[in-house]
Structure 1
């Protein structure tokens, strides 16, 4: 051979080797880069909180730290204020501590001074005055842009008077609470010196003539507790009241009905009767945070008891303190709570039960408040220092438990796996469990493979080992063309044509599942006797489908005709209703039956093609040797061909499995997208891929939902990676066992 030609061939081989190597490595690095990219977005979900001291200064001389009763901070962390025992609200600059201005809150007389201040909601302060009267004041901050000064922003503030409550006849109460809602409903609760509770409710009611008048009613609240009340709290709407006692009891009243406030429950919270020292309603007004004398911090909400109605139940145990908890305040944007004891301030999230951080100061903190956005906290020390902390807690509701474990959510009867990324209100409890999505992915894949795998493998066996070459030349390209059908078309047809068809013919479908195997077995038995006839022998060699096809068509037609009649006879014409009433199974029109057919249709071409190639590539000598030894064609296929081709068949099966796991459009269009954990074939599901497609357009960038969706993409990537890795390991072992493949 010409040396120059040989040299050219070797050079081309080297070039091809380098091109293939570089291309393969580029693909590997691209896949790794994609994984790193999506993992980088998801990783901050598990980051720690950042709590940073941004200001620390001595308060001005006109503010006596010993007289300060409440502090506050604006949402921009630029202006703070303090309300003292003289009834004065002083505002100051948080950068340098300079006093900005002050407001006098005592309206009737300068001699009237506040003795207690209770803060709730968005900077609402309830002032109990020394004559027993109550006032509710709201501090408002708003930005102002001065166009004459280069559109420079400044923070303005004002105090809005919301309500007045006159002094009770029996003098100054021990503790008082008050709430004012948007409808003008005003509620006041007093804990008297003798330990009894008095309720005053004022509502605006419309008379028969159309005029609006205020109706005021006073009640003595029922109290069957064994101990003395040591803590009180009320929701922002003034419809729920809770009290804790020194014997570890919690009392719950319903104040929603102005005509009949009801003591709904008295429960012993702790078996050792330890004193309840602090109570607070968690954001949303459903859960109750409880602090006790042992430093334990727990959260409770009502759960339906089949025997006793709604019962207050301890749900979450949060990180506690070393001593009695003196105060609890909720955040105003999520389910986090801030607890205060002698060992400092701690932040925990109720749902995830995560400890988010601790706030400490060299001096003892006497009072503190949280900004409305929850990103800043102001504290006043007993020595007169005002300190401001910046809080960066990006994803407090995320933990391994909330992502993959059972969580007891508000309003649920028991812990459960739940995905609910949004709600109609801002105070809902985020439910971002990935477990039902992973379950939905595996469920849809299982039913799709249950339908596709037998058809694909048996079809490949028949096409490669039994069919005539001419027939094989038609069937194999036709099946491979199926893979080119867009999945959106398959999903569209499954949702709008197949799902209604199966719903109308549910009885016929189940009947066909019984009749088709039976008809095939009967037809095979008949064929064994009829095959001795000479003309039929020609049909047997490669054209068996000509005998099977009419049987299948007639059986399906018979089931379609007979199914509706049997449904009317056995199930009163409504099989779906019978399934629900008798078996407790709810039929969803877009269910796993639809997924099995639709996604199976998309997976069959991949498995069929790889399996058929593997079967066809088995050396003919193996087949000839088996037949020469007297084995039948089926024995040869079962004992010789299938074991030799098993590595390729298994690889095709795993590739089909990975294809089903990552399928998006079919499951998005053909299922109900309900994130439930139920193996029933009559229900739908929500897989990871469809969930990403549904949720990502509405997910706020860098929010918890956004990053959780990227985490689900990482999980989906790892699932396919694990499947492919296991497939390759098994394939290599099968190849080593059976030699060639």
Structure 2
């Protein structure tokens, strides 16, 4: 006996420690999952960092007012345009001049204005005092003199010829100029000394057989506006022209049809006569522009479609989308990023600011020089910044700015995206355009997840809980032995099969028989009531022939016949009440109907969730102590009163746990929502529209995204949000279950 007792104690102790180890292992695993997800998300929380680098002077003469600085992608060579008409290539690190190019400016002619296109185009135009312009494109070539050795060699180009091209045929000085590349064409906009606004398009064509290059010039005079333009910017499609004038106004010309060009809008940008516009630059893609003022303010403007009744098609106006953190000094230069919607700005107080448009973030703002800064450049790969101060000294700065697109506001608040009329919640992570603005709002995905889970639970909960109660309390043991295993086997069905059937069979079926949804929803309960009334009217001898607990068998043919009848009547119902098409009736009523929608997901995912809820709830009801039910019946309560007032209260902890576990299963479901929803990230609870869930979005986009990119890390953030949602739901479920158990444990 003593030996047997020791064995029992050892077995009990081993089991106790194994249970503790298992529970602790689960907790540790969950903690490690959270730590890993957070480690992937943490870089999104960092701002930009700038590390001081080397200083050098590249020019022999005074270089206090550069027209432009630029960097090439490999981080070996920098460029500097001077307003005197000189391009200097210099080596980064020591500032050694590699090549110096003097522009072919005619004798007695001077540079009166300088303009640039978007950074990717690499084009700069020098407006001259005789009405001509020199257009230059800084380029590079790669040489490989030997294996493993790469040399970056300056290779400037003149896209419309090396000699100056005519902009103003009257020969007036060009006081402001803008240039832009549009495929093989080059557009130039300029304001002359006498106030005329010109737009010239140079079409470059190369003969296929001869190889000769022909340049065709088209010139147009645009409507003039009061005030002298101090900054001009052309869009990449050469449809829009922006100007900042001396009075602090931002002016917009619609030049899509240059012969019919009109001034569409004119907006005051500054706050009074003491403030002026000091810089104007288009961001990447030339959909929005950033305006800098003498007080250090920065604001983003873009064109918004005018949707008023009086406006025609394609009529736009200027809208102030957002403001950024103010600089201490007047903005002297703005440099857009090459491939993102960010920009770098410098001021005359020596401060450098790194800003991003979509997220409205100021990632960095600090003094980097004791002298006023007059020029700035950012590398195409966003790893290095060049700044030049008023003494001609160039400073090289190392940059870390990997994830400027993300912020709490960009992820969870409405954002005013380029080209849209109002701030919205939008998820659109990629596009075929290099100038695309990523839209990373988590709201559509979170709402889609809750929407799918809500409609699935709306379908599954009544059926599963009611079925569990009937199976455990009213059904005969023999019939229960068939029903319960059959429903539990449903849980073994692969969700990919359910999603496949939902997307390819159920969705088209419901689209063609929309009235069935409503007729069955109303018809089945009425049919059950009528069958019950008819059964009650039968003679007792006839009713006693059916053993107790087998009544549900009678309803099986009723359900089948009713559903078949409703499907057969569906076309007639549409003809009688909806002019032949219920879907078209929905459209006329302003209700969107998508073939793959929340209704399909609710049925398919509800079918997948029912076994989970049913099994747990049925066990909870079946294990209610028999003395409670027998005592209730002995005291005169009916079976229905016993169910509602004794069994449900006692089994409520288990039923609640079943519901919450089913909800967690619905929240994390992937394949059904992936195949049956259409994956459209919309923000609504319309049962006839689709959605995109967090889990489906991760499954779709994670294999295609670049590792460690912002998109990659935001998908991990989606996983972290999904993890937090399920963890919160399960925690609340356990707390409520424990309280219900403590409350009804004395029954």
TM-score tier, shorter chain, comes to over 0.9
- 2:165 maps to 1:165: yes
2:571 pairs with 1:564: yes
Q: 1:236 to 1:165 in 2, by over 3 A?
A: farther
Whether 2:290 is the aligned partner of 1:289: answer: yes
State whether residues 57 and 393 of structure 2, in contact with CA within 8 Å, keep that contact through their aligned partners in structure 1: yes
| 1:397 correspondence with 2:405 | yes
Which residue pairs with 2:260 in the alignment? 260
* Structure 1: distance between partners of 2:509 and 2:202: 60
Query: What pairs up with 1:148-297 in 2 under 5 angstroms?
Result: 150-163=147-160, 164-166=164-166, 168=168, 169-184=170-185, 186-203=186-203, 215-225=216-226, 227-269=227-269, 272=272, 275-297=276-298
For 1:502, the equivalent position in structure 2 comes to 510
Distance 1:684 1:84, change over 3 A: closer
- In structure 1, stretches of 5+ residues that fail to align are none
Structure 2 gap ranges (5+)? none
Partner of 1:326: 332
**Given the alignment, which residue of 93, 96, 112 partners 1:95?**
93
CA separation of 1:11/1:584 partners in 2, compared to 1, >3 Å: closer, same or farther? same
Q: Does 1:18 align with 2:17?
A: yes
Partner Cα separation in structure 2 for residue 511 and residue 67 of structure 1: 78
Deviates more, 1:394-403 or 1:118-127: 118-127
Deviations along 1:169-221, one digit per CA (max 9) or x if unpaired, are 3432322223343223x3332222333323333446999xxx99755344332
1:697-718 deviation per Cα after TM superposition (whole angstroms, max 9, x unaligned): 1010000110000001011011
Does residue 715 of the first structure (1) align with residue 713 of the second (2)?
no
Counterparts in 2 of 1:392 and 1:261: CA distance versus 1, 3 Å = same
- Contact 1:131/1:167 (<8 A) preserved: no
Runs of 4+ in structure 1 off by over 6 angstroms are: 204-207
* Matched-pair contact (CA < 8 Å) for 2:177–2:231: no
Cross-structure match for 1:348: 355
> Which residue of structure 1 lines up, in the alignment, with residue 135 of structure 2?
136
Counterpart in the other structure of 2:629: 623
> How many angstroms apart in 1 are the aligned matches of 2:476 and 2:167?
102
SS of residue matched to 1:160: coil
Q: How has the CA–CA distance of structure 1 residues 124 and 201 changed in structure 2, closer, same or farther, with 3 Å as cutoff?
A: closer
Alignment partner, residue 57 of structure 2 = 58
Aligned to 2:460: 452
The change in CA–CA distance for 1:247 and 1:539 in structure 2 (over 3 A counts) is farther
User: Separation in 2 of the partners of 1:738 and 1:25?
Assistant: 29
Instruction: Single out whichever of 449-458 and 486-495 deviates more from structure 2.
Output: 486-495
Aligned residues of 1:336 and 1:347 also touching (Cα < 8 A)? yes
| SS of structure 2 residue aligned to 1:326 | strand
1:34-56, CA deviations, whole angstroms, 9 ceiling, x for partnerless residues? 11111111111111211112221
- Which residue is equivalent to 1:536? 543
Alpha carbons of structure 1 residues 736 and 345: separation in structure 2 relative to 1, 3 Å: same
CA contact (8 A) 2:341 2:358 kept: yes
Q: Report how far residue 116 of structure 1 moved.
A: 3.9
Cα pair 2:176 2:229 within 8 Å, conserved: no
Change in Cα spacing, 1:170 to 1:143, as seen in structure 2 (3 Å) is closer
The answer to whether the 8 Å contact 1:352/1:397 transfers is yes
Q: Residue 613 of structure 2: which of 593, 602, 607 is its match? A: 607
Structure 1 SS opposite 2:156: strand
For 1:402 and 1:565, the matched residues in 2 are separated by 49
**Structure-2 separation of matches of 1:180 and 1:469:** 81
1:388-421 per-position Cα deviation (integer Å, ceiling 9, x unaligned): 1122111111100111111111121211110001
Structure 1 residue 420 corresponds to structure 2 residue 417? no
Partner in structure 2 of residue 705 of structure 1: 711
Task: Summarize the alignment of residues 325-724 of structure 1 with structure 2, pairs less than 5 Å apart.
Answer: 325-343=331-349, 344-358=351-365, 360-530=368-538, 533-539=540-546, 541-581=548-588, 583-724=589-730
CA distance in structure 1 between the partners assigned to 2:192 and 2:106 by the alignment: 24
Say whether residues 1:46 and 2:45 are aligned partners. yes
Give distance in 2, aligned partners of 1:695 and 1:448. 24
**Matches of 2:305 and 2:97 in 1, distance apart?**
52
Distance in 2 between residues matched to 1:205 and 1:152, nearest whole Å: 36
Q: Whole-Å Cα distance in 1 between the matches of residues 244 and 67 of structure 2?
A: 23
Moved more, 20-29 or 670-679: 20-29
Secondary structure, aligned partner of 2:13: helix
SS of the counterpart of 2:158? strand
Q: Distance in 2 between matches of 1:85 and 1:461?
A: 86
Q: Structure 1 16/231 Cα, relative in aligned 2: closer, same or farther at 3 Å?
A: same
Report the secondary structure of 2:673's partner residue: helix
Residue 28 of structure 2 corresponds to 29
Deviates more, 1:690-699 or 1:501-510: 501-510
CA gap 1:127/1:427 in 2 versus in 1, 3 angstroms = same
| SS of structure 1 residue aligned to 2:399 | strand
State yes or no: 1:82 paired with 2:77: no
Aligned mates of 1:24, 1:58 — CA distance in 2: 66
- Report the alpha carbon displacement of residue 614 of structure 1 after superposing the two structures with TM: 0.7
Query: How far is 1:525 from its partner?
Result: 2.9
1:458 deviates by: 0.6
More moved, 262-271 vs 594-603: 262-271
TM-score of the pair, normalised by structure 1:
0.94
Distance 2:62 2:514 in 1: 79
- Closer, same or farther in 2 for the Cα pair 1:683/1:78, shift >3 Å? same
- Deviation per residue, 1:56-105 (Å, 9 max, x gap): 12336x34324754332222222123333553323222222222232232
Report the alpha carbon displacement of residue 447 of structure 1 after superposing the two structures with TM.
Answer: 0.5
d(CA) in 2 for partners of 1:458, 1:428: 51
In the TM superposition, residue 158 of structure 1 has moved relative to its aligned partner by 1.4
d(CA) in 2 for partners of 1:127, 1:229: 16
Which sits farther off after the overlay, 38-47 or 114-123?
114-123
SS in 1 for 2:641: helix
Q: 1:292 Cα shift?
A: 2.8
Contact 1:75 1:376 in 2 (8 A): no
1:369-406 CA distance string (max 9 Å, x none)? 22233322212222232211122111111100111111
Query: Structure 1 residue 623: deviation in Å?
Result: 0.5
CA distance 1:568–1:77, change in 2 (3 Å): same
Label 1:117 to 1:467 Cα distance change in 2 as closer, same or farther (>3 A). same
Contact 1:69 1:116 in 2 (8 A): no
| Contact residue 85 and residue 113 of structure 1 kept, 8 A | no
Q: How far off is 1:515 after superposition?
A: 1.4
Write out per-residue CA displacement over residues 466-506 of structure 1, whole angstroms, 9 at most, x where no aligned residue: 01111111111111111111111111111122122222221
The whole-number CA distance in structure 2 between the counterparts of 1:645 and 1:526 is: 32
SS at match of 2:654: helix
The 1:310/1:166 distance shift into structure 2, 3 A limit, reads closer
Specify the alignment match of 1:298 in structure 2.
299
* Aligned equivalents of 1:310, 1:386: Cα separation in 2: 41
Distance in 2, matches of 1:438 and 1:151, equals 49
